[in-house]
A and B are shown apart, each in its own frame.
Chain A
């Protein structure tokens, strides 16, 4: 099988420097429903080729944000750009984006083969050979009625239809929700294999952080309609340190070291520190930062943020 990653000589990671266009850029993006703001002044970017995780509690604005990225909702203010083009009801821009909504958008009365035919008719760049091969590898029979497939198989069919559109950006809303552990693993593997084959950019939302370790390399944390964190996951982990110590000493530490976020539980305080620093007293111990720690610590401290300089967001 052709492996696009191996063929391209240009390292895709370099896109963070702003040389390659960002796959996705949101600038001051806001959405208001009646009186409530679902999303408020969100600005972030996802470089091309990344697998980005959009993380946040239920009701934090993830689905609203995703719907604006794929042109199903228009922003109250601000804008989203996909590969430099503003997202509107523009067939050209939207043909480069595929979306798998949370309620798998399959037609229950269709067979799998009919879903493929539907995709072929609707999408000019449809790759029928790839769609059939994927389903064959997954052992999903084409003649089977969609309603008679398991939840995992339905997700796989939805994913296959989305990938066969040959999108440059694939957007998935909670693709792993309501799947059992085996199906989660299979869907994840099949998504990662599709990324390896096509080099597309992926943005997927989730509220289950451990699922994202090893599959995503870019993190966007949304909390109460605001973007709290955006950046390369390895860089974020390397630039933070988690320290645990007595709550009564937390103020002293916070006064001397750059604290990104903090939480207290009884006599114990947990601080997320930015950058290297030596700890002032032996009652404090350092723990390696895991992705889950990083996300949870920020979510518990809504005023904290880790965002790139504004210049990076509008790079190019």
Chain B
């Protein structure tokens, strides 16, 4: 089970810190679908924080489809993050290498390539959230 910690000087609100820690654990495979998240009371006892803060974090995870509340049981992980299959990862990595080589042949340097990639990434995600 995940153990939360708080960075009280970070300026990031407490509920968002909890959300980020769950997402991070999902990306690293420390939390998997079916795992139970600590109950509000368990988190409260450990961190001395308001239980509504824990519930707000869990609702945010539910809205993202990452967790689900089961009445009378608790909150459970529904799906993981960063779970592209190994073969997909390998194929994408190969395609990206080929693209980087093509960019270098066109006389782009490292910073040019990074800027181009970042801008494509931003444009793509902005379209999704717009």
Judge whether B14 and A214 touch: CB under 8 Å: yes
Is residue A197 contacting chain B, with contact meaning CB distance below 8 A? yes
Q: Hey, which chain A residues are within 8 Å of B8, CB to CB? A: 213-214
Which of B45, B53, B59 is A214 in contact with, Cβ under 8 Å? Answer: B53
- A-contact 0/1 string along B41-57, CB 8 Å cutoff: 10011011111111110
- Which residues of B are interface residues toward A (Cβ below 8 A)? 6, 8, 11, 13-15, 39-41, 44-45, 47-56, 59, 69, 71-75
Is residue A220 contacting chain B, with contact meaning CB distance below 8 A? no
Instruction: List 10 other contacts, CB 8 Å, given A214-B48, A217-B53.
Output: A3-B41, A7-B72, A11-B59, A189-B45, A189-B48, A214-B47, A214-B53, A215-B48, A234-B13, A234-B56
Is residue A241 contacting chain B, with contact meaning CB distance below 8 A? no
Number of interface residues, chain A, beta carbon within 8 A: 29
Is residue A196 contacting chain B, with contact meaning CB distance below 8 A? yes
- Which residues of A are interface residues toward B (Cβ below 8 A)? 1, 3, 5-7, 9, 11-13, 49-51, 185, 188-189, 192-193, 195-197, 213-217, 234, 237, 288, 290
Cα of A254 to Cα of B67 in the assembled complex, Å: 44
Give the distance to chain B from A306, nearest Cβ to Cβ, in Å: 18
Tell me which of A9, A214, A237 has the highest count of chain B C-beta atoms within 10 A of its own C-beta. Answer: A214
Judge whether B40 and A6 touch: CB under 8 Å: yes
Nearest first, the 7 closest Cβ-Cβ pairs linking A and B are A196-B51, A196-B41, A189-B48, A288-B11, A192-B44, A5-B40, A214-B49
Which of B52, B54, B69 is A12 in contact with, Cβ under 8 Å? Answer: B52
